[in-house]
Amino acid sequence: MQTAASEPRVSPSLRALAFGALGVVFGDIGTSPLYTLQEIFSRDYSLHVSRASLFGVLSLVFWALLLVVTVKYVIFVMRADNKGEGGIMALLALAQRSVRGQPRLRWLVAVVAIFGAALFYGDGVITPAISVLSAVEGIKVAAPALGHWVVPISVAILLVLFLLQRVGTARVGGLFAPVMCVWFAAIALLGLHMIVRAPEILAAVNPYYAARFFHSHGIAAFVALGGVVLAVTGTEALYADMGHFGKRPIRIAWAGFVFPALLCNYFGQGALMLHQPDAAANPFYLLVPHALLVPMIVLAAAATVIASQAVISGAYSMTRAAMQLGFSPRMRVVHTSSRMVGQIFVPWINGMLLVLVLVAVVAFRSSENLGAAYGIAVTGTMVTTTLLALLVALRLWHWKGYAVVALGIPLLVIDCAFLGANLLKIGHGGWFPLALGILVFTVMTTWRRGRELVLRQLQYGGIALAPFIESIADHPPPRVPGTAVFMTANPTTVPHAMLHSLKHFKVLHERNVLLSVETLETPFADQAERIELHELGHSFHTLMLRFGFMQEPDVPAALVQCAQRGLAFDMMDTTFFLSRETVVATKRPGMAPWRDKLFAFMTRNALPATAFFHIPGNRLVELGTQVEI
């Protein structure tokens, strides 16, 4: 019998996954020491460096990392996996499943989640800007005369980063983990070096100092929370990237390496400022020995590029999930790896992020100025994640009400305190992510509502399918060889494309299939639920193809699998018929006129359904339909 001592506690594959998580999951939160304490003690907060303020701020940073990251995300939120996948869109699907059969509550859940997702795009703009700027600002410490080059160099790095997105991260992904491993080791050693010289700084882990900080500084302490929250930026990545690595590897990497390294660096910066208060101007780089400044600037730039890559990739994944769940217009999605299905590139999103990131860098010009804008995007998403996770715990996991309240109240108090402190900074740059979030929220809700109105109009006055088939049997039109596939959102009524085809061509195909595509509230469809086939008689069939919201809706590939269900398709003998709707904004009730026009504009510019579903153009017949909303 093998003893417990001889059995490895962590398998080699688990260690490899935990190591890989370092390069993808922790880039954002791992580069937070570059700007967090610098922002807190900046002129925006009017907080002077003193022993009391230093111990209070470090205590807040320590407990924020412990309660928000460790307790809330690593232990609680990561339990809410949707077949192994995480992220706010996966959490939305879980939350909506927990309130199935309650339309109003489902609508409220969707609104909360969409707003959180919209703010994530603001995070996707500000993270690359503030991370790269904060890394390049080390030039001011190494060579103050070159300080005016910070913005141009940051712009150049960001241009290269976004232009390389179409290549994908498959080739360079292997470098991410080693670079971040070196980064965390370096910041930990720098912090430990200073802690050894001032070990009394470790007393700040006592929550007494945080409480005393609030008691002695009053409103200034509350405002300082807007800077403290920068220490926990990137926590959504721990949850969003859970599907790539799994819960346990992320938890091991956080508890065993990342968390201790971050604490060492934050407390090291505090020890430095304890004896050198003017180091608050840039405590991270002033912690670095002068001889190592240039290598550290290069390493920091590499780490911030990796952190930015994780957020940009997250924006691509969220966009694909939003398209599948019906909250975003269809866009072209490019797969950048033949082996990793999750590595995708969305050109339109990449272009918009590039423009907005460059605007943020040029307009704000420093990480200190961007710090005021950063917190609202982060804290807004944190609040929505907490609300949705608590709902899932209550309705889907069937936790007792008192347990949900006991956990939820402290988490929401912390999240709302962070959000409230950041709302005070709206006039100092906080308006930027808020405006982006409201814009994205408007687009997503308008698209969702517009599609509902279009489907309602298409179904209004539709001809029931069963009587139609019976009339075809009684008065059969001429039949032509082959299979006709009519794509429809409602398999119980006759598709408009079929009616138009019969009206104009006066014939039907030998075999007619009414095809519907459904996106599930799970990331991947199980094998048993992917295909649902019904024979209606007289060579008519209804076919339902189901895909998860993280899957590619490849219709021709799915049709090949129908042969196992007794319905074989020869693509060379199959013709797809599709109604292409032309949306016309009218004064009909449903949405405000400006939203009608916005939806009509998005519809005209969205990727055609045929391209989205990978339907070959040489096997397609499109018939136009005008829809008034």
Left if phi > 0, otherwise alpha if psi is -120 to 50, otherwise beta: which for 614? left
Half-sphere exposure of 88 (CA within 13 A, CB side): 30
With bands split at pLDDT 50, 70 and 90, how would you rate the model's confidence at 358?
very high
pTM score, two decimals? 0.81
Residue 385's nearest CA partner among 244, 237, 523 is 237
Q: What is the pLDDT of residue 352?
A: 92
Left if phi > 0, otherwise alpha if psi is -120 to 50, otherwise beta: which for 275? alpha
The per-residue pLDDT of the chain, averaged, comes to 85
**DSSP run (H or E) holding 483:** strand 479-487
Could you report the per-residue pLDDT of 522-548, keeping only the tens digit for each?
878 888 888 898 888 888 999 999 988
Over 80: is that where the pLDDT of 247 sits?
yes
Torsion of CA 93, 94, 95, 96, to 10 degrees: 50
- Tell me what the mean pLDDT of segment 244-255 comes to: 86
- Tell me what the mean pLDDT of segment 320-343 comes to: 74
DSSP 564-595: GGT----GGGEEEEEEEEEEE--S-TTS-HHH
- Tell me what the mean pLDDT of segment 192-217 comes to: 93
Over 60: is that where the pLDDT of 9 sits?
no
Pairing of strands 540-547, 531-537: antiparallel
Q: What is the pLDDT of residue 395?
A: 92
The burial class, CB within 10 Å (0-12 / 13-18 / 19+), for 557 is exposed
* CATH class for the region spanning 17-429: mainly alpha
The residue ranges of every structural domain in the chain are 17-429, 457-628
Range with the largest mean pLDDT of 5-9, 12-16, 110-114: 110-114
Could you report the per-residue pLDDT of 289-316, keeping only the tens digit for each?
988 999 999 999 888 888 887 788 778 8
What is the distance between the alpha carbons of residues 549 and 332, in angstroms, rounded to a whole number? 16
Residue 12 or residue 622, greater confidence: 622
Could you report the per-residue pLDDT of 94-116, keeping only the tens digit for each?
898 888 878 888 889 988 888 88
What is the distance between the alpha carbons of residues 311 and 121, in angstroms, rounded to a whole number? 9
With bands split at pLDDT 50, 70 and 90, how would you rate the model's confidence at 149?
confident
Could you report the per-residue pLDDT of 460-477, keeping only the tens digit for each?
656 888 888 888 888 888
